[in-house]
Amino acid sequence: MSHNAQIKIPATYMRGGTSKGTFFILSDLPEAAQQPGPARDQLLMRVIGSPDPYGKQIDGMGGATSSTSKAVILSRSEKPDHDVDYLFGQVAIDRPFIDWSGNCGNLTAAVGSLAISRGLVDKARIPEEGVVAVRIWQRNINKTLIVHVPVSAGKVQETGSFELDGVTFPAAEMQVDFLDPADDREALFPTGNLTDSLEIPGIGELTATMINAGIPTIFLSAGDLGCNGTELQEAINSEPAKLQKFETIRAHGALKMGLIDTLAEAAQRQHTPKIAFVAPAKAYIASSGKPISADQIDLLVRALSMGALHHAMMGTAAVAIGAAAVIPGTLVNMAAGGGELQELEFGHPSGTMKVGAAVAKSDGEWRVIRVSMSRSARVLMEGSVYVPSDAL
């Protein structure tokens, strides 16, 4: 009986922030997958284990959540003053689809770490002891990211005492800077307004802040949705009707933001925009059982990714939160108490997260200069992945 032999591809499995993904160096991929297109998508879906009608990704590297169904391709950057090019693919779990429309902020920390380990950063830039500012060109969104990677004995230091809510074990702290994170092709506020009214059939009128920073994001008030902002995953993800309501709102918001031309297109753009809801600070119990008091945080934020409430917070959505929070008049800023802010700590399902942002206003237009946050990253496994040869 004839069969397809498996092919072997060098890969690294890494955690970055509160996400995990399978990382490849571009030159290690089979030649047919070194260029964008169906061959690359088909190969990466097979690696991750999609599409899986069972929703488990048992036959692949994915973990059956939006946080773990991810693929990354790295290469030495040819862009001046950059070390590495970073291309991110959000792999759908149950459908044959990879969304290349946005970035993964959490995995950015892992990109900086792996770029050093795999020789994509010039050795002359790596001290024996210290911190390397790895300069990343994010190819999905054409933006510069800086990851400050600690180095010990000339090698990446991954272990340490920094604790990140949503990650069980401590690790070394890495500051991640998102420079000028607004989409140059779109206004920071695509409608020109800090808040807009969305009229949605079957749902009614909702007030939203829609922003292009880090990743296009639609912010809503928790109370307008019948939520209180302290929800954990099961409160949302166990209710198909609630998830469908959020997806309907997301589609209408995407249309108003100009990201799609028809509502039907939203189904093929699951990664962007994100949808989130905010509320003033109040006490709650995080998913780990840790109590979060109202005086620990400035506001509450819950966000959905790929059709489900995220277990913590996406890094790119945190960029949007930070940017919107420091601009007076947005729903995020108002939930945080209003006024001028430079740094804030928000509550998410797994705990809290601190983010800082610098913005400027010129000729009546807001510009985001930088958003910064702390993440961590660690290699989980290094070697090769195997896929049947008919995956190409």
Beta carbons within 10 angstroms of residue 200's beta carbon: 14
- Long-range interactions of 231-238: CB distance < 8 A, separation 24+: 231/302, 231/309, 231/349, 232/286, 232/287, 232/309, 232/349, 233/287, 233/308, 233/309, 233/310, 233/311, 233/349, 235/309, 236/302, 236/304, 236/308, 236/309, 237/308, 237/309
The residue annotated as part of the active site, out of 14, 61, 104, 210, is 104
**206, 270 Cβ separation under 8 angstroms:** no
Q: For residue 314, indicate whether it is catalytic.
A: yes
Cα–Cα dist 206/283, whole Å: 26
- Candidates 178, 248, 186, 185; CA nearest to 214 is 178
Chain centroid offset of residue 111 CA: 13
Straight-line distance from the first to the last Cα atom of the chain, in angstroms, rounded to the nearest whole number: 21
Amino acid at 71: A
The residue annotated as part of the active site, out of 61, 174, 227, 314, is 314
**What are the φ/ψ torsions at residue 254 (nearest 5 degrees)?**
-60, -40
Prior bond of 51 cis (ω within 30°)? yes
Cα–Cα dist 353/72, whole Å: 24
**213, 323 Cβ separation under 8 angstroms:** yes
Cα–Cα dist 54/84, whole Å: 36
Cα–Cα dist 149/71, whole Å: 21
Q: For residue 45, indicate whether it is catalytic.
A: no
Query: Which residue in this structure is represented by tokens 């090019």?
Result: 85
Beta carbons within 10 angstroms of residue 27's beta carbon: 11
- Candidates 392, 385, 284, 389; CA nearest to 48 is 385
Among all residues, which ones are annotated catalytic?
104, 314
